């Protein structure tokens, strides 16, 4: 747990905070201390990452901390429990000290922070910023998020009754029996103008009701998408049947097109942009890698990630830099570069030996012993793209498992028979092993 008084913040496998439904990140500060002299059980929070969202203040340990340690010390303060934000004081003394600001927090009699500001007493928490960051911009967004009270916004039905019918009720004198507008002097012109304003106002009211209904449905879809994503990541301990496997496949395809609820941006993350982008990318690639068998081309990941980010697109350089930072973090994925120069993203649990075993099974089939296999044949067996299959075949060749034949039709790979020969008796024909199986296959082909 985070401590005796603060709430614990849940983290992903890459160390990113797990956001609540409809919660969005707003800003971030690095190397931040949280201090509170009024609470003896306040945790020791030093030199961490302070993330502001629409619902909470999240304090996470620095990037050098392991995921297990970070999960036990990550803390959360609901914005609903904050009763006042003090303006930052600027003086000559503050010029020589670390920037800081304070806010008032409502706590229970036991000294714990509740979900809302229903505590019996108030304490003051001091935020000391020892790193580089735009404190004024953070404070501005802090005020904006606290006043916005996004955690209180519920699914309120559109109040269609709020639009009054005063236009028709008070318009008995505006129309003739034929339904045309009376235009009598200046009074008629003013009445016509009033009618136009009332019609425009009613149209705007109807439009905003439709917009509110759309936003409510969008909120429901975001919550549903997050629940489905968590269900997919958690997996099932039981053996699924064919129908369940089909549903899971369909759900994965749908989830890849839903998008990221709160993408990391340079505006919100500041100097921590590439580090936070790296962690969010590690969380995002879990589903695509699971679908692709544990390895995907970096270009494919770039397209999927940008599609999920919507309008917050990133450059190829940002993606490559984010992937290169995985070596410093305790994340379950890694960036790999083949000898040909092709870069891929793969799970750390991905085993080349398992792939080689499947390739060997394919290449020792009678037809493959005679004609060899192509990258397309391996792609069908491994369930991956032909380009990735070719990289696996070339890697297997470098390990001595395969031999390559280059023809006008392209590359053909065969099982390597040279280890089957006896150096002391090259003409010895064995009646066992792969060489014997190859002889039978060639003889059968005539």
Q: For 22-49, what is each residue's pLDDT tens digit?
A: 888 999 999 999 999 888 888 888 999 9
- Residue 249 pLDDT: 58
Q: How many domains does the structure of the chain reveal?
A: 3
Query: Tens digits of per-residue pLDDT, 79-93?
Result: 999 999 998 877 666
Question: Mean pLDDT, to the nearest integer, of 135-151?
Answer: 91
CATH number assigned to the domain comprising residue 391: 1.10.10.10
Is the same domain home to 363 and 400?
yes
Is pLDDT at 224 greater than 70 in this prediction? no
Domain presence at residue 275: yes
Last residue of a domain, one of 82, 115, 150: 150
pLDDT score for 200: 75
What is the 3 state secondary structure string of the chain? CCCCCCEECCECCCCCECCCCCCCEEEEEEEEEEECCCCCCCCCEEEEEEEEECCEEEEECCCCCCHHHHHHHCEEEEHHHEEEECCCCCCCHHHHCCCEEEEEEEECCCCCCCCCCCCCEEEEEEEEECCCCCHHHHHHHHHHHHHHCHHHCCCCCCCHHHCCCHHHHCCCCCECCCCCECCCHHHHHHHHHHHHHHHHHHHHHHHHHHHHHHHHHHHHHHHHHHHHHHHHHHCCCCCCCHHHHHHHHHHHHHHHCCCCCCCCCHHHHHHHHHHHHHHHHHHHCHHHHHHHCCEEEHHHHHHHHHHHHCCCCCCHHHHHHHHHHHHCCCCCEEEEECCCCCEEEEECCCCHHHHHHHHHHHHCCHHHHHHCECHHHHHHHHCCCHHHHHHHHHHHHHCCCEEEEEECCEEEEEECCHHHCECCECCCCCCCHHHHHHHHHHHHCC
* Positive or negative torsion for Cα 33, 35, 40, 42: negative
416: in domain:
yes
Domain that holds residue 378: 352-444
Residues 302 and 390 in one domain: no
Q: Are residues 310 and 387 in the same domain?
A: no
Residue 217 lies in a domain: no
Predicted pLDDT at 209: 66
In a domain, 249, yes or no: no
Predicted confidence (pLDDT) per residue in 267-292, tens digit: 888 888 999 999 999 999 988 888 88
Question: Which tokens in the block code for residue 213?
Answer: 């209904």
Q: Would you place residue 12 in the very low, low, confident or very high pLDDT band (cuts 50, 70, 90)?
A: confident
Do residues 342 and 358 both lie within one domain? no
Least confident of 101-105, 164-168, 227-231, 416-420: 164-168
**164-188 residue pLDDT tens:** 333 333 334 333 444 444 444 555 5
Asked if residue 104 and residue 45 are part of one domain, the reply reads yes
Q: Residues of 16-32 as b/e, b for ≥16 C-beta within 10 angstroms?
A: bbebbebbbbbbbbbbb
Region 150-160: mean pLDDT is 57
37-46, 146-155, 225-234: least confidently modelled range: 225-234
Residues 94 and 38 in one domain: yes
Model confidence pLDDT, tens digit, residues 301-347: 999 999 888 888 999 999 999 999 999 888 889 999 998 888 999 99
Is-contact 235 244, C-beta < 8 A? Answer: no
What pLDDT, on a 0 to 100 scale, did the predictor assign at position 437? 72
Asked if residue 87 is part of any domain, the answer here is yes
Residues 406 and 288 in one domain: no
- What is this structure's pTM? 0.68
> At which of 101, 124, 150 does a domain end?
150
Classify residue 229: in a domain, yes or no: no
- How does pLDDT run across 367-388, given as a tens digit for each residue? 888 888 999 999 998 888 888 8
Measure the CA–CA gap between 394 and 361, rounded to whole angstroms.
16
**pLDDT exceeding 90 applies to what percent of the chain?**
29
The reply to whether 102 and 31 lie within a common domain is yes
Last residue of a domain, one of 292, 315, 347: 347
Please give the mean pLDDT across all residues of the chain. Answer: 78
Is residue 161 pLDDT above 80, yes or no?
Answer: no
Residue 222 lies in a domain: no
Report the pLDDT value the prediction gives residue 199, as an integer from 0 to 100. 76
Q: Is 245's pLDDT higher than 80?
A: no
CB proximity list for 371: less than 8 A, separation 6 or greater: 412
Residue 2 pLDDT > 60? no
Is 175 domain-assigned? Answer: no
Dihedral (CA of 76, 80, 84, 86) sign: positive
**Maximum average pLDDT range among 91-105, 180-194, 356-370:** 356-370
């Amino acid at each position: 747990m985070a401590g005796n008084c603060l709430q614990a913040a849940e983290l992903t496998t890459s160390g990113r905070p797990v956001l609540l439904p409809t919660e969005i990140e707003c800003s971030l500060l690095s190397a931040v201390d949280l201090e509170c002299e009024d609470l003896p059980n306040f945790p020791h929070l030093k030199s961490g990452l302070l993330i502001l969202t629409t619902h909470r203040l999240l304090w996470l340990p620095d990037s050098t901390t392991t995921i297990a340690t970070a999960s036990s010390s990550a803390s959360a303060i609901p914005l609903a429990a904050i009763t006042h934000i003090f303006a930052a004081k600027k003086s000559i003394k503050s010029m020589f000290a670390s920037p800081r600001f304070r806010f008032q927090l409502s706590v229970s009699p036991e000294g714990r922070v509740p979900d809302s500001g229903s505590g019996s007493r108030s304490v003051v928490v001091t935020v000391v910023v020892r790193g580089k960051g735009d404190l004024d911009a953070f404070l501005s967004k802090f005020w904006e998020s606290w006043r916005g009270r996004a955690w209180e916004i519920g699914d309120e039905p559109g109040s269609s009754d709020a639009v009054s019918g005063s236009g028709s009720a008070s318009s008995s004198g505006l129309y003739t029996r034929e339904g045309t507008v009376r235009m009598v002097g200046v009074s008629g012109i003013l009445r016509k103008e009033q009618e136009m304003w009332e019609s425009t106002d009613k149209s705007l009211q109807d439009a905003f009701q439709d917009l509110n209904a759309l936003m409510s449905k969008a909120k429901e879809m975001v919550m549903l998408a997050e629940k489905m994503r968590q269900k997919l990541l958690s997996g099932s301990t039981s053996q699924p049947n064919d129908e369940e496997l089909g549903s899971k496949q369909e759900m994965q395809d749908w989830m890849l097109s839903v998008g990221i609820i709160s993408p990391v941006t340079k505006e919100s993350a500041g100097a921590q942009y590439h580090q936070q982008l790296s962690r969010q990318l590690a969380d995002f690639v879990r589903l695509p890698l699971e679908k692709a068998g544990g390895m995907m081309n970096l270009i494919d990941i770039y397209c999927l990630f940008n599609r999920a980010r919507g309008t917050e697109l990133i450059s190829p350089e940002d993606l490559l830099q984010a992937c290169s930072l995985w070596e410093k973090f305790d994340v379950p994925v890694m960036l790999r570069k083949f000898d040909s120069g092709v870069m891929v993203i793969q799970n750390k649990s991905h085993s080349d030996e398992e792939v080689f075993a499947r390739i060997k099974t394919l290449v020792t089939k009678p037809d493959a012993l005679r004609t060899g296999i192509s990258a397309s044949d391996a792609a069908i067996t491994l369930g991956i793209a032909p380009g990735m299959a070719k990289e696996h075949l070339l890697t297997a060749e470098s390990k001595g498992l395969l031999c390559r034949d280059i023809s006008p039709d392209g590359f053909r790979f065969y099982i390597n028979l040279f280890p089957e020969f006896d150096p002391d008796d090259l003409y010895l024909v064995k009646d066992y092993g792969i060489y014997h199986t190859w002889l039978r296959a060639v003889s059968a082909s005539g």
